[in-house]
Structure 1
Amino acid sequence: MANAMTSTALLVFLASLLLVNVEGQVGHTKARCLCLNGVVNQIKPVLIQKIVVHKSTISCPHMEIIVTLKEGKEKKCLNPEAPLVKKMIDKLM
């Protein structure tokens, strides 16, 4: 009887260790960035309808700037490190 209780207690202890280990792991290891097909360094401001800035997160480690163009509702990703894009962001802020 004592041997069965010891085995049960040991099993419960090991299961709780396993749960703690699984809970602490990062769930998504792949980046989930929106700008996967490259970025452009400049775009004429008159062509832009909307600008969306996504800050870096756990799922995507870098900032992304996505512009929607007026004609055709096409979306482009801007390079946040490009000098002209930096100037545009400074003006918007």
Structure 2
Amino acid sequence: MTNMITSTVLISFLACLLLVNVEGQVGHSKARCLCLNGMVNHVKPVLIEKLEVYTSSHSCRNMEIIVTLKNGEGKRCLNPEAPFAKKTIEKIMKKQKECAVNL
């Protein structure tokens, strides 16, 4: 009886160790980047309805800037290295700092 309990406890302990080890490992998941079909360097500001900036993460190594266009024209990926994108991000950051100061 004691051997059966000892064996059960030992098997349970080893199973827990295995689960903790497997759960903590990083898998080889596919990148979940949103901008896979190329990027544009410029979008007319009057056509922009919404702008989303995604920093690099474990699921996608690239910084991504996605612009939603007005009138249901779809979405475009901006090249983060393009001067237009850099200036746009700079303006947004400046507005956010101004809003934070006014609070």
Same-fold call, TM > 0.5? yes
2: CA distance, partners of 1:28 / 1:46: 41
Sequence identity of aligned pairs in percent? 69
* Aligned position for 2:66: 66
Aligned length: 93
- 2:4 is equivalent to residue 15 of structure 1: no
Question: Deviations for 1:32-82, whole angstroms, at most 9, x for unmatched residues?
Answer: 121111111122222222211122222222221111112433100001111
* Aligned position for 1:31: 31
Runs of 5+ unmatched residues, structure 2? 94-103
User: Which residue identity is paired with 1:47?
Assistant: L
More helix by share: 2
1: CA distance, partners of 2:79 / 2:5: 63
What TM-score do you get using the length of structure 2 for normalisation?
A: 0.73
User: Which residue identity is paired with 1:21?
Assistant: N
1: CA distance, partners of 2:64 / 2:41: 12
Give the secondary-structure state (helix, strand or coil) at the position aligned to 1:34.
coil
